[in-house]
Every structure is written in C-alpha cells, then in structure tokens.
Homo-oligomer: A and B are copies of this chain.
C-alpha cells in the first residue's frame, strides 16, 4: 500500500503509527474525492470499527501539518480534504460527481508580473482551481 509513505512520515516526525491512524490514512490516501471529516469517519470505520470522530479530526490535522493533505475550497463549503499531490499542483473538480484531478504546468508569471505592476503588490503565491465536468460526466 502506497499509504505507507504517509505512515512513515508520521513516524519520522515523532508521531506514533496506530491502527486508528492507519484507517484514516488509508481512507484519505486512496480517495479521488475530497472527503469531509464525517465522510472520512464513515469510511474509515469500515476498516477500524472503534475509531472515534475526534481521532479523525486529530489525524487530519497532523496530515495537513505535514503537507500530505490539503483542504479543498468549494462553493458548498471548505471542510473537505484530499491528498496534497506532489510539488506545485492545482485541482480540477468535477461539479457533477465530485471527482478531483490534479494538474501542474500553470505558468502565471506573465499574469502576476502585470498585476504586480498595476496594483503595486509584491505577489508571493497563487491559488488556482478549476471546475468542470470529468470525462464520465460530460
């Protein structure tokens, strides 16, 4: 299971690898949908019955801190999480089924330079997210 990398990261950062964390990590790692804490809880409990919702919150917090997962912002809410991807990536969300695709290769240098000039801001970061319909839903 590739989720092992996440467990290693937890361990390497001084966190213990427990059955509860394994269930949460497996669930989030393997999902192509952004999951809310409750959704993670429901799915992870199939793997580890006695899991508590509190532990889901605490584990998501640590995974986010280690940049292994990221919060997904959507019109309906911003409580869902998905894998952080590797390197500088952005998200593309299917408005119909909620599936998430990653992409990279956004070159916004020309745009940010122009905006910096116009606004007088020094631009440091950008958030870019696309919405549409995935191959199956369109």
Mark A residues whose CB is within 8 Å of B: 73, 78, 92, 94-95, 101, 103, 105-107, 111-112, 114-116, 118-135, 138
Given contacts A115-B92, A127-B127, contact A121 B105 (CB under 8 A): no
Q: Are A121 and B135 in contact (CB under 8 A)?
A: yes
Q: Are A114 and B105 in contact (CB under 8 A)?
A: yes
Q: Are A132 and B122 in contact (CB under 8 A)?
A: yes
What's the nearest-Cβ distance from chain B to residue A79, in Å? 9
Please, which residues of chain B bring their CB within 8 A of the CB of A115? 92, 103, 130
Among B94, B123, B134, the residue within 8 A (CB) of A132 is B123
Q: Are A127 and B92 in contact (CB under 8 A)?
A: no
